[in-house]
Amino acid sequence: MTGVVLILVITVIPRWGLEFWKHIDTNSSNTLIGVLISFSIMATSLRKLFKYPGAQSSAYVLPSAAIIYGLMMLIYLLMRLDYSIQGMILGAAVTLVWCYIGYFLGHRYRKQRFALIPFGEALDFPILHGTEFVFLQKPDLEKQRFDGVVADLLSEDLTPDWEKFLAKCTLSRIPVYHTKQIIESLTGRVKINHLSENELGTLLPSIFYERIKRFIDFL
């Protein structure tokens, strides 16, 4: 809601006044609708993305804005609707500023918080910057706020009560993560338990894959 107000204050009200809906032309109204839709899609997408552990990276903001606003302008071109390129660019700039400010404030003052089930690999969980892990003493969150529950799902020490607790969390839409998944996501390092049988050279990625990945990373 704050971002929508910011877009109106910066892009619309200075030109059309507080009662802009009475005076605005078709070109500008189409642009405003496109900017508001693009902003809403981007804000919703990033909010869901940043909830996932390890996804709190400002690198997602600029590509997301470019793709969403680019698709919006493409739709306008295909439908032959009038719109202002300058208005779209200004709206995208305001969206970028709002998202970056929201990201840095949220990243600085809010830590991701996870509940740890004290069995298996969870007992040797590494200390990770910007993330708080709390060991549960019993299968109950005790009305505390957590961004998810982390457990070694392969541990043989998980009792039926803990398994029932994990199932209840899943049904309550509380994310349940395997310890290996969280470590890989937060550290970017993949833990290899064993290598399966491979012929010599099959572990090397194909040249086609490397070129495609390099192109995507460049974008």
Q: Name, in order, each residue with C-beta under 8 angstroms of 49's C-beta and a sequence gap of 6 or more.
A: 55, 60
Q: Pull the structure tokens for residue 110.
A: 């809010």
With tokens 């929201």, the residue in question is 102
Angle between helix axes 26-51 and 61-78 (nearest 10 degrees) is 140
Q: What is the predicted pLDDT for the residue at 16?
A: 59
- pTM over cut 0.85: no
Q: What is the predicted pLDDT for the residue at 8?
A: 61
Positions of the chain with pLDDT under 70: 1-24, 51-58, 107-109, 126-130, 186-209, 218-219
Q: Name, in order, each residue with C-beta under 8 angstroms of 205's C-beta and a sequence gap of 6 or more.
A: 213
User: Within 10 A of 46 (CB to CB), how many other CB atoms are there?
Assistant: 18
